[in-house]
Structures are given as C-alpha cells and as structure tokens.
C-alpha cells in the first residue's frame, strides 16, 4: 500500500487541536494519581505542575472540553478524569493486537499499564512457527497466518507493530486490510497508510539523540559562561554538572507543543 498520508490535520473535527489531544493523557495521568489519593479538587497551577505543562495552556486546553473549574476551588478531580477519559475514548474497552513477539513485543505484552487504561491485549501474533501456542504474559502466541481472522473476530481497531523494520509495512498493510485503523509502530521505518488510518511512531533512539543534543548545548553554554567569567575550564567535563547549570523548567522540558514527545505521528 504505497499511497495515502500518515498525518491528521492539526485540528480534529470536534474542534480540539491535536496539540491539546496530545496533552490530555498527561493531565489524565496526573489526575488519576490525585484520584488514587482521594484528592477532591485541584487548582490549574497544581495540576499543570503535576502534568509538566504551563498552567495557561492547561486552562485553554480544558476550555475545549467545556471545563472551566471554580474560582477559589479549582477543578473537580473525578469529573475531569471522567471528561478526559470520555474525550479520549477510554470509557470503552479497546482490544489491541501486538504483532512481533520478540524482546519488545513480549515486554509490551507483559506491561500491565495497558489493561489498567482500557486497552485489552486481544492477541499476540508472530511469524515464527516455533512460537505458536507458547504463552507470553499468559496469552498463547498465534501464528501470523491467522492475523486477518484474529483482527476480524475480535473487532480490533488498534494494532501494535514490533516486528523488524523490513516486515513492518507488510504487517501494516495486512492489519489495515483486515480492519485496523490505528497503528502504534515501534519498528524504525516510515509506514504508508491510506486515508483514515492513524499511525503513531515510538522511537526511543530518537529521544536519546534529542537528549544528546540538549546535553551538548548545555555543555557549550557552561563553557561560554566560564569563558565570560574568566574561570578556567575544569580538567574533565562532567555532564551532570553541566546539566545542573542550565536546568530547564518542566513546562518547556516536555510536552507536545514544546519538544518532541516520546510518541510522535509517523
């Protein structure tokens, strides 16, 4: 499948910008932690700090949900959890298939965080016949010959690809042809999908490269500051010390509007 696009427009049909959608899970994670501690209300500043987002941006984001909070009281934690979950489509159970049950696929299958967030691992699929029937995280691996049947019978719309890069496009095409419309791709390759299919790509090595860039920049700033102050350079550069000298705030450190998030559109 060579045609098609891999990006959605910047704004969803319901008028919530993509950047806001990308921050909703950050708010939800922070709110869930508050809910677990039975905290009834939270101010925009507290929640913004917990989510690592600027508070003005948070208030703007929540205005898209029609949630404005109460002056002097803040936001109702339980109601916001419900509102954001509903907006993200998490009030229903999403069956997910993972394709490619090697090191990464098995680690994902064993990750308990999916189920607790409404994502049920419906099937584990691998092309290696010797793996068929073997349980991983308590689920027997199924052979990839059965991929289409598994997707259709389980009503799966979300697929996770953890195969080698060379197999990812073919797996993607088969998933899409069987009815999958959202793909989380861990393979280091750009997938081509038809209109109506969303692809998100996770690449930890890109994240590390971005951190390396920031480390290099911070070390450069440190050296420039020393030169300006007439302080001689230390014998060896300590990356930790350099980092301490130019700490960024959490508001600019992470998040979809600022730096590149760990999960990005393909």
Ligand X SMILES: NC(=O)c1ccc[n+]([C@@H]2O[C@H](COP(=O)([O-])OP(=O)(O)OC[C@H]3O[C@@H](n4cnc5c(N)ncnc54)[C@H](O)[C@@H]3O)[C@@H](O)[C@H]2O)c1
Q: Which residues are annotated as a binding site for NAD(+)?
A: 100-105
The residue with its CB nearest to ligand X is 102
Taking the CB of residue 185, how many other CB atoms lie within 10 A of it? 27
CA 263 to chain centroid: 4
Contacts with ligand X by CB under 6 A: the residue count is: 25
Stretch that binds ligand X, among 1-9, 156-164, 191-199, 239-247 (CB under 6 A): 156-164
Closest CA relative to residue 126, chosen from 109, 141, 107: 141
Stretch that binds ligand X, among 43-51, 85-93, 201-209, 252-260 (CB under 6 A): 201-209
Structure-token match 């959605």, residue found? 8
Tell whether residue 167 is a contact of ligand X (CB under 6 A).
yes
Stretch that binds ligand X, among 58-66, 94-102, 222-230, 252-260 (CB under 6 A): 94-102
Find the binding residues for ligand X in span 100-129 (CB under 6 A).
100-105, 125-128
Residues 151, 142: Cα–Cα separation, whole Å: 12
The token duo for 248 is: 């960024």
Which C-beta is closer to ligand X: that of 33 or that of 208? 208
Cβ(87)–Cβ(59) below 8 Å: no
Bridge partners of residue 263, in order along the sequence: 202
* Footprint of ligand X (CB under 6 A): 99-105, 125-128, 144, 162-165, 167, 170-171, 186-188, 202-204
């Amino acid at each position: 499948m060579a045609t098609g696009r891999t990006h959605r427009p910047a704004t969803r049909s319901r008028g919530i910008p993509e950047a806001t959608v990308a921050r909703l899970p950050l708010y939800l994670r922070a709110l869930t932690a508050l809910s677990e501690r039975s905290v009834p209300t939270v101010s925009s500043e507290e929640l913004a700090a917990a989510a690592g987002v600027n508070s003005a941006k948070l208030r703007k984001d929540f205005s898209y949900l029609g949630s404005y909070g109460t002056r002097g009281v803040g936001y109702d934690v339980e109601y916001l959890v419900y509102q954001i979950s509903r907006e993200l489509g998490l009030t229903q159970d999403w069956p997910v298939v993972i394709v490619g049950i090697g090191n990464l696929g098995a680690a994902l299958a064993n990750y308990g965080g999916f189920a607790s967030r409404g994502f049920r691992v419906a099937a584990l699929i691998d092309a290696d016949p010797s793996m068929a029937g073997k349980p991983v995280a308590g689920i027997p691996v199924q052979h990839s010959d059965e991929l289409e049947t598994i997707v259709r019978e389980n009503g799966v719309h979300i697929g996770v690809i953890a195969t080698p890069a060379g197999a990812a496009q073919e797996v993607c095409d088969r998933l899409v042809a069987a009815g999958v419309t959202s793909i989380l791709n861990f393979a280091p390759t750009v997938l081509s999908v038809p209109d109506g299919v969303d692809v998100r790509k996770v690449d930890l090595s890109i994240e590390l490269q971005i951190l390396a860039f920031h480390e290099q920049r911070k070390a450069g700033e440190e050296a420039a500051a020393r030169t300006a102050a007439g302080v001689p350079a230390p014998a060896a550069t300590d990356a930790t010390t350099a980092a301490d000298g130019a700490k960024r705030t959490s508001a600019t450190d992470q998040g979809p509007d600022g730096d590149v998030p760990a999960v990005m559109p393909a």
